[in-house]
């Protein structure tokens, strides 16, 4: 006997699977947990750390050595410092942020780092064709390294008759090229102060 429309509808409804509330609750909990986990794991990207350069290591090496080694004004650790300066291979990307030029001056003196009473490290940028007057080094032991280009150092003898005028006697004139290192000091050094001289190119020569 054929079923009436109302009977067929009741029959279909009786065969429909009723939703299980427990399944929906468990699915909701799982979705919330996954969202919470996503929020916890979505950390902001950490800033990129600047990689230390060989120049940074040079500064740290010099600072650590001079601040941890007993220092005598008459016998500073010149051989060691000379060696670490020679070992550094210059790279403008390491130190260019310190090299500030001024074409209206003979040179600029740019402080890189210092420990008062022990040493200071300067980077000087020379204007092309300029030179300094004859001078001493203020009772300091001085090391110089060419970072770029070349420069000429001329030395003169101290007059034997203080207070009297007369021409200075030139004792040497030496050109220094990139990565060369030189040492200079007054005959009597009364202060335990080291100055490091960094020079750059003929086009923009750095000297301290």
**Segments making up each domain of the chain, as ranges:** 54-159+168-199
Q: What is the DSSP string of 140-207?
A: -EEEEEE-SS-EEEEEEPPPSSTT---PPPEEEEEEE-TT-EEEEE-SS--S--EEEEEE--STTB--
For 200, the token pair is: 């750059």
Q: How far is CA 129 from CA 75, 144, 150, in A?
A: 36, 19, 12
What pLDDT was estimated at residue 74?
A: 46
* Domain boundaries 54-159+168-199, CATH class: mainly beta
| Burial zone of 23 (CB within 10 Å; 0-12 exposed, 13-18 middle, 19+ buried) | exposed
Give pLDDT < 70 ranges for the chain. Answer: 1-49, 71-76, 159, 162, 186-208
pTM of the full predicted structure? 0.65
What pLDDT was estimated at residue 133?
A: 81
Give the chain's count of helices (H) and strands (E): 5, 7
What pLDDT was estimated at residue 197?
A: 45
What pLDDT was estimated at residue 188?
A: 45
pLDDT in tens, 161-171: 767 777 777 88
């Amino acid at each position: 006997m054929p079923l009436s429309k109302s009977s067929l509808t009741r029959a279909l409804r009786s065969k429909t699977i009723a939703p299980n509330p427990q399944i929906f609750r468990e699915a909701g909990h799982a979705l919330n947990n996954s969202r919470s986990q996503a929020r916890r794991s979505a950390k902001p990207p950490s800033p990129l750390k600047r990689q230390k350069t060989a120049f940074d290591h040079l500064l740290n090496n010099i600072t650590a050595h001079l601040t941890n080694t007993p220092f005598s004004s008459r016998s500073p650790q010149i051989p060691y410092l000379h060696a670490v300066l020679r070992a550094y291979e210059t790279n403008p990307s390491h130190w260019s942020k310190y090299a500030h030029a001024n074409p209206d001056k003979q040179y600029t003196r740019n402080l890189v780092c210092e420990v008062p009473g022990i040493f200071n490290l300067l980077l000087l940028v020379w204007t092309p064709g300029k030179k300094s007057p004859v001078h001493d080094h203020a009772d300091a032991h001085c090391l110089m390294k060419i970072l770029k280009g070349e420069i000429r150092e001329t030395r003169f003898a101290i007059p034997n008759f203080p207070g009297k005028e007369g021409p200075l006697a030139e004792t040497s004139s030496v050109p220094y090229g990139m990565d060369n290192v030189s040492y200079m000091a007054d005959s009597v050094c009364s202060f335990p102060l080291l100055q490091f001289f960094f020079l750059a190119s003929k086009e923009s020569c750095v000297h301290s």
